[in-house]
Amino acid sequence: MRTLLSRAIQVDPSFHIGLGLIVILAVAEIFFAASYYVGRARAARISAQAVAANVARPAAPSVSAQTPAPAPAQPAVSPAAVPAPSPSLVDQLLREGIELRDRGDTTNALARLQEALDSEPNNTVVLEEMAKTYESMQLLDRANDLWRKLQEMGPSAGAAYELANQRLKLGVPTPGTADSGVANSSADAAEHKDIGGNPEGAVMGITQVKTTETPDPDAEKNLAMQIGIKKQPGATIDHDKVKIFVRFYDTVGDKDIKLTDADVNYEWLTPKHDWTETNPEVLSVKYVRAKTGGASSDSSLAEAAATVRPGQKARGAKGSAADSGRRKYLGYIIQVYYDDDLQAIQAEPSRLLQLFPPSKSTSAR
C-alpha cells in the first residue's frame, strides 16, 4: 500500500512543463486584458476632456474657421512695385490742349481737343474744354453747340451738365438762318487766329482767372479776382506797350446791364510785372459794392474800367449817387493789349462779349 502511494506521488516532468505553460499563458492573457481595458479607459477620458473643452469654448471653432479669411490678401505686393497705369491717349491730348490754350495757342489747342474727341465723341471733359476754348476765341455759336450737346446728355454728364445749363442760361441764342452764313464764314476766318484775333499770333495770353468772394457785413458784394498774364515762350515784351482792361458789369433792376459803379481797385501781386521771366504776372482786382453805395456818372464809370499799366499806381473808382434801380453784380470782361493790338480776352458770362464787343486795337476805342 505504501509502495503504491509513493509511486502515485511521483509526477511526470511533462506535467510540470505543461502546467508552467498554462500559467505563463494565463499571466500573458491577464496582462493583455489589463492593457486593453486601461487603454480604453484612457481614450474615453481624453475624449471626455475634448468634449468638455468644446462645450466650455463654443466660439473656438468659428474663430479657427474665420482665420483663413484674409487669405486673398496674402499675395500682398508693395505699391511701389506695381507700375502706375500710363495715361490714355485721350487724357494726354486733353492735357496738351489745355496747356496750349493757357499759353494762348488756341489753334493747336483745338487740334488736340478735336483729336481727342474723335477717339471718344461723348467724353464730357473734352467737350467742356473745347467749348471753353471756343468761348475764349469769341466763337460763341460753336461753343453753344457743344454746351447744348452736353445738356442733351442729361445729369449723367455730371458737373459738365450743370455748367452747360449755366452757360446756355446766361448766353444768348445763336443767330438765325439768315445770319448763319455770315457767322460761319467769320468763324472759319477766325478759327486759325489766336485768342485775340491777331493773324501774326498773340504774344501774350491769360493763363488763369481766379475769383473769390469774401463775406463782408458792410458790403453787398466783396469780390477779389486774380488774373494771370503770361507772355509766349521766346517773346520779348516791352511792358510800356502792355495795356490791361478789366471791366465789371452789373444788372440794374434785373433788366439793364451797365458798367459797374462799385468800388474797383487794382494791385499787382508780382513785384516786377515786366514779363522778363517766363512766369505769369498776376494782377489782383477787387470789386466791392457797399450796402450804402450808389451809382456814379458815365465819366466815373469809364474811369472805373480805366487801363491798368504795368509800373503805374493802380487806380480805383467809387460810386457817388443813388441809382434809379437796384444793382447786382453780373460779371466781367478782361482785355489784354500789346502795342495797341488785342492779345487776349476773357468774359464771364460769355454773353457780355456780344453785348459789349471788344475792339481789336486801342486806337479804335
Give the pLDDT confidence of 283-327 residue by residue, as tens digits: 999 999 998 644 444 444 444 444 566 655 554 545 444 554 589
Return the C-alpha cell found at 89: 491717349
Asked if pLDDT for residue 181 goes beyond 70, the answer is: no
* Gyration radius of the chain over CA positions: 46
Task: Write the CB contacts of 280 (distance below 8 Å, at least 6 apart in sequence).
Answer: 207, 208, 228, 229, 230, 270
Percent of the chain residues past pLDDT 70, beyond the cut: 65
Question: CA-to-CA distance for 269 and 273, rounded, in angstroms?
Answer: 8
Distance of CA 100 to the CA centre of its chain: 19
Does 196 reside within a domain? Answer: no
Q: What is the pLDDT of residue 46?
A: 64
Instruction: Answer with the one of 150, 172, 194 that is the final residue of a domain.
Output: 172
Distances (CA, A) of 73 to 63, 68, 69, 81: 18, 10, 9, 16
Query: How many domains does the chain divide into?
Result: 3
Question: CA-to-CA distance for 245 and 345, rounded, in angstroms?
Answer: 9
Q: Does residue 243 sit in the same domain as residue 141?
A: no
Q: Looking at residue 167, which CATH number applies to its domain?
A: 1.25.40.10
Instruction: Give exposure, 69-92, as e/b (b: 16+ Cβ within 10 Å).
Output: eeeeeeeeeeeeeeeeeeeeebee
Q: What is the pLDDT of residue 171?
A: 52
Q: Does residue 128 sit in the same domain as residue 274?
A: no
Asked if pLDDT for residue 48 goes beyond 80, the answer is: no
Does 32 reside within a domain? Answer: yes
Domain range for residue 164?
A: 89-172
